Amino acid sequence: MLYLAEVQKQRSGFGLGGGKAELKLLACQRGEHNWSAVPGDDAIPVEEANKFNDGTLVLVELSASKQVQRIQEAARQLVSILQNFSRLQDKFKDKEEEIEQWKASLTFSSQELNRREMEMQAREEQLAQMEDELERLEAQRSEIENTRDEANRLREEVDRSRVEIETAWEQLRGEQQRVAQQQSQVPQGAVVDRQQTERIQELMQKLGGAIASAQGVREQLNQSFGAVGAQQAILDQHWQQLEQKRSIAQQQQEEVDRQNQSLQNRWQEWYQSQDALAGARADLKGQQSTLSAKQDQAQSVSLQVRAIEDLYQQLSRLASASGPGGTQQKVDVSSLEKMPVEELQALVQHLQHDLEKVFRFVNDQEEELTLQKETIEELQRKIQAASEYDRMALENEMADELESYQMLNETLVGQRLRLQEREDVLKQHQAVLWRRLGTANAPKQGGDMELGPIVAQLNTQRQQQSQELQRLENEIQQLRETISQIEANVNRQNGEGEAKRYELKQFEQNLFNQKGAVAELWGRVKVYQEMLQPVQDNLNALRQKLEAVAGELDRVQERGDEQDRVVSDLQQVLSGLITA
């Protein structure tokens, strides 16, 4: 099982090599991303922990019997865990924003559905009104059809009356001729017999009945004209409503055309503002590229400054330790003088073995630091040649590598100091041992190399690099201020553009709805006209038929008047004949 532990050391009385290292278990891994704290202050003695400094956090894998299977420094793993945790937080934030966007979208969709539902209800009401109007028109059409049937019936009656009148007239004319013949044949003073008289009176009554029937047809014809006039009055009202609707539709069409032209002009202005925004974004992108290049350069100079600073500190400590009054690690020399030579030799071998292990560890860390530096330099080259899409991922990877490099470099500073201290302790122990053995290989206490000029040169180079770094940081700060202003301007323009775009979309949607309403109104006008026109045509045809019947009836009436006069004359003649 994997544990997070802290290295704890207990120092012995002889230097640094005789300390006892223990691991204090802090947390235990329960899953891939699940850690739980270890209760209590459990400490496990581990020999492998001697190569780590006191207080170092390590990851140790223990068996069920608390035996160490693997141990390594936890700095990089902790950084990776924290980075993963940060990425998970970013993902959660993105998901929350996405959820909020979905909520807003669903709210808008719900409002849009409600609006569409209200429009559908309004259109259903309009359709119901149109159906009512259609029913009324159908009723009027049915009345007109009935009136037309009545007119046809009247026409038939007029034709029948005319035939009857003509028939009676022909019979009467024939009787008149017979009477004239009889008058010419009979002697003077002869009279018409009773049978002839009754026949002539019957014919005159029949002719009078036909004339009276024509008068009844006139009355029915006048009633039909009245019904046609009433239907025309109703149709005139509908035609007036149709003209009103056509006028309203024309006005709304003109307003829609005007708003459509205004919408096109406003879209043109918006596109021009977007072109200006694209220019500002291009300027921002150029400034950001310059800032990225400056930051890369500053990072490189910062790495150089840190490396020179570390080297300067190490050489300064070496110069201080090797010079007069140096602060070497204190060793109880008197105890070493009293210690048996065999025990002293064993202690020196132990210190030398411990120093070799620490040296190998520090050397491995130095190699890893060199590899990380090469990786950072390679990433810098990739960033300079990368596209805008790949730059972001490379910059994130660059930030992770820099953070890891800094942590490893800071760890190595202590490790180098620790190695130097152990080397000093070993040299002091060796000096006592060689002096007691009387060997000629005793090392000189003074340094073989003058470090002062090197330290001074490093100090000068450190100052120059620090000034260069300061200059780059000032330029970066100025660029950031400029970018901040451009970003504020771009954000403002983008916000105004989005608000304008949303406003135009709303205006466009409203205009689309108005166009639909106008098209629907034009459709209603067309349907209304298509419904009225056949009724009007039928009514006009009926009126023409009635007028034709009225003309025919007038002609019949004229004949009837003439026949009435003839009948009157015949009655006088017949009366004279009967009287005679």
For residues 344-370, average pLDDT:
85
Interval 405-452: pLDDT, tens: 777 777 777 777 777 778 888 888 888 888 888 764 544 444 444 556
Instruction: Quote the pLDDT of residue 576.
Output: 62
Note whether 483 and 292 are within 8 A (CB). Answer: no
Give CA–CA dist 343/353, Å, rounded: 15
What would the pLDDT profile of 466-483 be if each residue is shown by its tens digit? 888 888 889 989 988 999
Query: Average pLDDT for residues 33-62, to the nearest whole number?
Result: 80
Confidence of residue 217 (pLDDT cuts 50, 70, 90): low
- Mean pLDDT across the stretch 198-210? 62
Residue 568 three-state SS: helix
Is 70 exceeded by the pLDDT of residue 294? yes
Selection from 214, 229, 216, 149 nearest residue 554 by Cα: 214
Which amino acid, 510? N
What are the pLDDT digits (tens) for 235-270? 888 888 889 988 998 999 999 999 999 999 999 999
Better-scored residue on pLDDT, 70 or 562 = 70
Considering 341-350, 383-392, 394-403, 441-450, the range whose residues carry the highest mean pLDDT is: 341-350
Question: For 518-553, how does the pLDDT look when each residue is reduced to its tens digit (9 = 90+)?
Answer: 888 898 888 878 878 888 888 888 888 888 877 877
**pLDDT value at residue 440:** 46
For residue 69, the surrounding DSSP H or E stretch is strand 68-73
Residue 317: predicted pLDDT:
64
Give the pLDDT of residue 338: 83
pTM over 0.85: no
User: What confidence category does residue 180 fall into, taking pLDDT thresholds of 50, 70 and 90?
Assistant: low
- Which of the four pLDDT bands, split at 50, 70 and 90, describes residue 190? very low
Alpha-carbon separation of residue 121 from 41, 115, 116, 520 (angstroms): 75, 10, 9, 15
Which pLDDT score, from 0 to 100, does residue 175 have? 62
The encoded tokens of residue 124 equal 């259903």
Determine contact, residues 42/65, Cβ cutoff 8 Å: no
Give the helix/strand (H/E) hosting 74. none
Contact between 140 and 235 (Cβ < 8 Å): yes
Residue of 38, 119, 44, 29 lying closest to 77 (CA atoms)? 29
Structure confidence at residue 390 (pLDDT):
75
Q: Is the pLDDT of residue 277 over 50?
A: yes
Higher pLDDT, 252 or 214: 252
**Is residue 188's pLDDT more than 60?**
no
CA distance 251 to 135: 29
For the chain, the average pLDDT equals 77
Is the pLDDT score of 373 beyond 70?
A: yes
